[in-house]
Amino acid sequence: MNRRIKEKIKYTAGIIYCALVYVFLFLPIVVIVVNSFNATTSKPYLSWKGFTFAWYGKLFENTVLLASFGHTVLLAVVSTLLSTAIGTLAAVGMYKYHFKGKGLIDGLLYIPVVIPEIVLGISLLTVFAKASVPRGMITLVLAHVTFSIPFVIFNIRARLSGYDNSIEEASMDLGANRVYTFFHITLPVLAPGIGGGALLAFTLSIDDVIISYFTNGQVKTFPLKVMESIKSGVAPDVNALSTLILVGTSLLVILTQSGIFSKHKK
């Protein structure tokens, strides 16, 4: 066989293979989006009864569902801000200073990354119970920051490996103090790493099921609300909300990727 045809066949096979993997990855999402337009009104909302936009309207009457989404957003924003602040300070501090116990911090950082989420979830639950911390939004934030911090730090570290300390020295030689230097020199240089870490923290937070399940008390996040409704069948308004979230986050990321991030890329 002609070599060129052979290459062509190989290339086409490659395209087909990749397409199949994407079909696998996106199939349930297609199911969710299609079912958000399903006119069925009887549980478990599975059979197709025609096309409707009605669920998008009903969604805004379902205050319990909307409240759960509000909890998820609040939780994600607060825990992302906290974990990014703590993680940025820690990553820079651990890069610049040498001190006793650094190895211990490093070791502790790997734990939330490798340990099964359920173990982290139940261990936080038992400690909150022991310390009589009432479970709710505060314990959720504590838990989410805990599993996000390592990812933020690792992201920034990757950026720090090529970091030139002399630009900070130059800033201080020119009379800037330490705090001014941190905000005006160190942070802008690390911005892509910090942004990437924050995005990851946010993504992990909105998707988290297991750790929230053990630390939430009475506060239902959106994933936990979905979990609750699975037994009786997930209503199409949940699908409608999921579709809106997907569209919203996609837009947000496309905007940030093309806007903020490219500014610092160079």
Partner 1 sequence: MKKKKNFRGNTLPALVMVGPVTLWLLLLVAVPLIYVVFMTFCSLDANYNLVFTFTLDNYKRLFDANYVQIYAQSLLIAFSTTLICIIAGYPFAFLIARVFTKKKAILYMLVIIPFWTNSLIRIYGWRTFLGSSGWLNNMLTKLHIISEPAEFLFNRGTIILGMVYCLIPYMILPLYTAVEKLDKSMIEASKDLGAKGPATFLKVILPMTASGIFSGSIMVFIPCLGYFFVADILGGGKSDVIGNLIERQFQSGNNWPLGAALSVILIAITLLLVKIYQICGGDMENLGV
Q: How far is the C-alpha of 265 from the C-alpha of 193, rounded, in Å?
A: 11
State the DSSP string of 221-234.
Answer: PHHHHHHHHHTT--
Q: Which residue has the tokens 């030139």?
A: 164
Q: How far is the C-alpha of 188 from the C-alpha of 110, rounded, in Å?
A: 27
> With CB under 8 A as the contact rule, which of the stretches 1-9, 56-64, 187-195, 239-247 interacts with partner 1?
239-247
Tell me how far, at minimum, the Cβ of 178 lies from partner 1, in Å.
Answer: 6
Alpha helices (H) along 115-136? 117-130
CA trace torsion 214, 215, 217, 222 (10° rounding): -80
> With CB under 8 A as the contact rule, which of the stretches 49-57, 60-68, 163-171, 244-252 interacts with partner 1?
244-252
| Residue 141 near residue 86, CB atoms below 8 Å | no
Tell me how far, at minimum, the Cβ of 49 lies from partner 1, in Å.
Answer: 12
> With CB under 8 A as the contact rule, which of the stretches 57-65, 117-125, 162-170, 187-195 interacts with partner 1?
117-125
Q: Which is nearer to partner 1, 33 or 191 (CB)?
A: 33
Q: Which residue has the tokens 């990855």?
A: 25
Tell me how far, at minimum, the Cβ of 67 lies from partner 1, in Å.
Answer: 16
Residues numbered 123-152 forming contacts with partner 1, rule: CB under 8 A: 123-127, 130, 142-143, 145-146, 149-151
- The residue from 210, 217, 256, 261 that contacts partner 1 (CB under 8 A) is 210
| Residue 227 near residue 209, CB atoms below 8 Å | yes
Residues with Cβ within 8 Å of 182's Cβ and at least 6 positions away in sequence, in order, are: 92
- The residue from 40, 155, 171, 216 that contacts partner 1 (CB under 8 A) is 155
Q: Which two tokens stand for residue 35?
A: 């079912």
Q: Which is nearer to partner 1, 53 or 110 (CB)?
A: 110
Tell me how far, at minimum, the Cβ of 144 lies from partner 1, in Å.
Answer: 11
Q: Which is nearer to partner 1, 191 or 233 (CB)?
A: 233
Q: How far is the C-alpha of 149 from the C-alpha of 201, rounded, in Å?
A: 8
Residues numbered 18-77 forming contacts with partner 1, rule: CB under 8 A: 18, 21-22, 24-29, 31-32, 35, 46-47
- Give the residues across from 38 on adjacent strands: 51
- The residue from 209, 232, 255, 263 that contacts partner 1 (CB under 8 A) is 209
| SS3 category, 38 | strand
- # residues contacting partner 1 (CB under 8 A): 85
Tell me how far, at minimum, the Cβ of 148 lies from partner 1, in Å.
Answer: 11
CA trace torsion 243, 247, 250, 254 (10° rounding): 170
Asked if 236 touches partner 1 (CB under 8 A), the answer is no
Residues numbered 75-114 forming contacts with partner 1, rule: CB under 8 A: 86-87, 89-90, 92-94, 96-97, 99, 101, 105, 108-114
Q: How far is the C-alpha of 77 from the C-alpha of 222, rounded, in Å?
A: 14
